[in-house]
Structure 1
Amino acid sequence: MASVAIIAVLLMVTLSLLRVNVLLAIIISAMSAGLMSGLSFVDTVELFIENVGGAGETAFSYILLGGFAVAIGMTGITKGIVQFLRKAVKGRRVWMLVIIALIASLSQNAIPVHIAFIPILIPPLIAVFDKMQLDRRGVATALTFGLKAPYVMLPLGFGLIFQGIIQEEMANNGLEIPLSEVTLAMLIPGSGMIVGLIIAITITYRKKRDYSKEEPKGQPSNIEEVDDEPFVFERHHFMTLIAIVAALVVQIITEQMVLGALTGLVLMFVLVAVPLKRGEEVMSNGITMMGMIAFIMLAASGFGAVLQETGSVDALVDASSGMLEGQKVLISLILLLVGLVITMGIGTSFGTIPILAVLYVPIATAAGFSPIAIAVLIGTAGALGDAGSPASDSTLGPTAGLNVDGKHNHIWDTCVPTFLHFNIPLFLFGWIASIIL
């Protein structure tokens, strides 16, 4: 039974690497997991469909955020940002990647909009990237770093939610720990991501890459060429800023992305930042932009439910821990490997913490790990579900922004680079931290 989860996740990753559509790869893997565990095909399909709604709120949020992003883009306010970045970096590729990583980092705490800024900011910059001959794999790496590292290390915005879930789920399983110790614990594995980013932007993706010679794959979208006409701040830009601030305030107060996105979208029309007659165009383009991400998140929820309901996740952890009783170094290694398999398949950090805590707390406690070391294990294993996972919004978001001309592959240009530069150091630093703390 333990092998079911491993085979299903490996199948999903293999199909994705072979350029099978990620949505199809997830569905095929979910069906395979159910059949391997003894469920009938009909029962597996029913289980899958019953649980896709687990990510319904997130998927709906992304659709609304897509519409909000399109509306903001229609106002032309991103032109000012693009022109500022062009002047600030002056062709220096490394500095461009650093600034993109910093902007993405703000989306997790100071301005918690998560991936909503990507379709607003990145497509208008594609022409700039190509003129600089900037390797988009470096851009994807910088974006994923900003979407992930802040919530891993900092107890602000999404980071406060992530670390709070770790604390709460450890307490639910009989192990109390202050939030400050959770933060301290996650600083070490998070530091591994900083090392990975430095290697990516200064060594791996520093060389020039000419995209003019590459053939677009799929149906490329229209992108604007670099606009040198000076940006002029007008009334509708001011109204756009009001809508953005209102969306952020509502999201922070209610802790609901749906309400925040809906507030911003409605205000864009009410304040006439975008004419109401363009509402159909806004939502149509928003669905086009974020719809695939929404469907993949729904499918990933169903896939995760199939793995959990079949008992393959519990069996995997029990089998791996039972073989290594008393060997802390190996237990830590195996628990993180198991966490990598689980979270890579489900594609979410926040959603897998409760699953991991139920299994990790009793196993690690019995093995003699300290509470802070257990927090490291749970947090690191959960964080491994973002970078590199085909089903994670932290990889889907960068691809959605960078593939507007059909020249950026989700697996080879986003997932593989982010896995190599973030999951490997995150894993190693988390493993070391769990042993020394």
Structure 2
Amino acid sequence: MMIVLVSVGIMIVLSLLRVNVVLAILTAGISAGLLAGLNPGDALEMLLGGMGDQAETAMSYILLGVFAAMIGYSGITGVLVRNLLQLLKGKRGFLVMAIAAAACLSQNLIPVHIAFIPILIPPMLHVFDNMKLDRRAVASALTFGLKAPYMLIPVGYGYIFHETISEEMASGGLDIAIGEIWKAMLLPVLGMVVGLFTAVFITYRRPREPKAQSDLSNASSKTEETPDTSFGLKQLYTIIAVLGAFIVQLLMDGSLIYGALTGIILLFVFQVVPFRYGDELAGEGIRLMGMIAFVMLTASGFATVLKETGAVQELVSKAVDAGGGAGILTAVVMLLVGLVVTMGIGTSFGTIPILAALFVPFCLSVGYSPLATTALIGSAAAMGDAGSPASDSTLGPTSGLNVDGRHHHIWDTCVPTFLHYNIPIFLFGVAAAVVL
């Protein structure tokens, strides 16, 4: 039981001490293996073996980074940003809420997940600095848009989330229709709305002087060298490439790899990106998203160690036994377990099967209703996704906000999102388990 608590604690402490997140996760994963009784060689082998589970995701993110760099070169983001700023007229709060609204579209209506962030955010960084906008508010807005829609709406990534909950609960002997799950998730999502408004209009409302640029950062790129930001034929071709990537992604069962490759090829075919700049822009794209890809690989290895050693199952089982009957205490214990597990694994989607396998039989035995059980599983899985150093809901915002080296992944993304979303999801999730 202590394996998960200690190893996740190691990851969090090292991350808060500003140790590189890859090193923090690697250390936590090896520690989990050693605590489980493995020798150092076997612990490392298990971790490395588990990294392959996220190979497709990692490759997707790298190709999306290349696609984003090429879109930035086209100058279309400059047109979009200029028009957006004219519309909002320098109002920081409205700008952040507009970013949150755009992020919401990435989960359901246009299911590109974090792919839009390296396209939209980097051209806006100088605007944020001129407005003295606190980037922590932007990180909070982006994370909200990456999480709340899929938690509530069964479309796009939301359908995958709701379908996973439904199937895993059915495996445990409790049937609930996909169309009913939103009712259980409504209160937890309202908690996220409260967290968003708190972050944007209270916690990070005040002007903030921009940080000094890191000496190690390299903000110059071809994406910033395109002189013409007026809308023309190049920008029209870019829109066609984006639409082509989106259509192919849908036709290939949501494959981001095929979608990104299609967009990249179309940009070359239409000569939006000259072939002579292809290698340079590909290198920039890899720099932009390569770190996220490697973090996801390492986190997958850590998750494999936790699951293969039985540490997660033991933790959940002990917590369920300690919870007692259907009431507030039991809901509190179950949600806290979900927080710890998801913080370590880094994905709510990957946590649902683990939690459902043990939560469903217990909830049935103590008398929780199907909706209350769904609220517990959905909330417990979603909690740690906001604030986890290994989650794409935090890695995505950092990838866009830290292009110039002025945004720290842990203190400027993970800590703000942890405080503003996990706390309200916890409180509203407990309330949902009690009233449903």
TM-score band (shorter)? over 0.9
- Aligned pairs for 1:12-411 (under 5 A) are 12-211=11-210, 214=212, 216=214, 218-222=216-220, 231-253=229-251, 254-411=253-410
Name stretches of at least 5 consecutive residues in structure 2 with no aligned partner.
none
SS of the counterpart of 2:107? coil
AA aligned opposite 1:308: K
Q: Deviations over 1:298-347 (max 9, x none)?
A: 01100001001111111111111112332532121111100100001111
- Quote the Cα distance in structure 1 between the aligned partners of 2:78 and 2:217: 24
| Worse overlay, 92-101 or 356-365 | 356-365
Q: Deviations over 1:141-179 (max 9, x none)?
A: 111111111111111211111111111111122211111
In 2: Cα distance, 1:349 partner to 1:425 partner: 17
For residues 189 and 273 of structure 1, the distance between their equivalents in structure 2, rounded to whole angstroms, comes to 44
Give, in angstroms, the shift of residue 278 of structure 1: 2.1
TM-superposition CA deviations, 1:201-258 (whole Å, max 9, x none): 111111001116x35364242379999x984222121111111111111212322111
* Aligned CA-pair RMSD: 1.8
Q: TM-score, normalised by structure 1?
A: 0.96
Structure-1 separation of matches of 2:171 and 2:267: 42
* 1:377/1:42 CA distance change after superposition, 3 Å: same
Q: Give aligned-pair identity as a percent.
A: 53
Does residue 1:10 correspond to 2:9, yes or no? yes
Gaps of at least 5 residues in structure 1 are none
Cα distance in 2 for residues equivalent to 1:181 and 1:225: 45
Q: Aligned pair in 2 of structure 1 residues 252, 272: CA closer, same or farther (>3 Å)?
A: same
Letter in 2 for 1:235: L
Structure 1 residue 35: Cα displacement: 0.4
- State the Cα distance separating 1:279 from its structure 2 match: 1.9
Counterpart AA for 2:230: V
CA contact (8 A) 1:127 1:224 kept: no
Give the stretch that moved more between structures: 25-34 or 87-96: 87-96
Does the 8 Å contact 1:317/1:338 carry over to 2? yes
SS for the counterpart of 1:432 is helix
- Evaluate the alpha carbon distance shift between residue 165 and residue 145 of structure 1 in structure 2; reply closer, same or farther with a 3 A threshold: same
Q: Deviations over 1:179-198 (max 9, x none)?
A: 12111111110110000001
Question: Please, which moves more after superposition, 93-102 or 242-251?
Answer: 242-251
The answer as to whether partners of 1:123 and 1:223 remain within 8 angstroms in 2 is no
Taking the aligned partners of 1:392 and 1:223, their CA distance within structure 2 comes to: 27
Secondary structure (helix, strand or coil) at the match of 1:323 reads: helix
Amino acid at match of 1:46: E
**Aligned residue type for 2:74:** T
Shift of 1:393: 0.8
* Aligned 8 A contact 2:74 2:223 in 1: no
Does the CA-based 8 Å contact 1:128-1:226 persist in structure 2?
A: no
User: 2 CA distance for matches of 1:192 and 1:217?
Assistant: 39
Q: Are the aligned partners of 1:127 and 1:226 in contact in 2 as well (CA < 8 Å)?
A: no
Following the alignment from structure 2 to structure 1, what is the Cα–Cα distance between the partners of residues 222 and 124?
A: 9
Distance 2:6 2:216 in 1: 30
Q: Give the whole-Å Cα distance in 2 for the aligned partners of 1:29 and 1:195.
A: 33
Contact 1:223 1:405 in 2 (8 A): no
Match of 1:417 in 2: 416
Instruction: Give the distance between the partners of 1:412 and 1:223, measured in 2 at CA.
Output: 26
Task: Return closer, same or farther for 1:397/1:324 CA change in 2, 3 Å cut-off.
Answer: closer
Aligned length: 435
- Counterpart CA distance in 1 for 2:182 and 2:288 is 35
4+ runs of 1 displaced by more than 3 Å? 223-227
Kindly indicate whether the alpha-carbon contact (under 8 Å) linking 1:222 and 1:404 is maintained by their aligned counterparts in 2: no
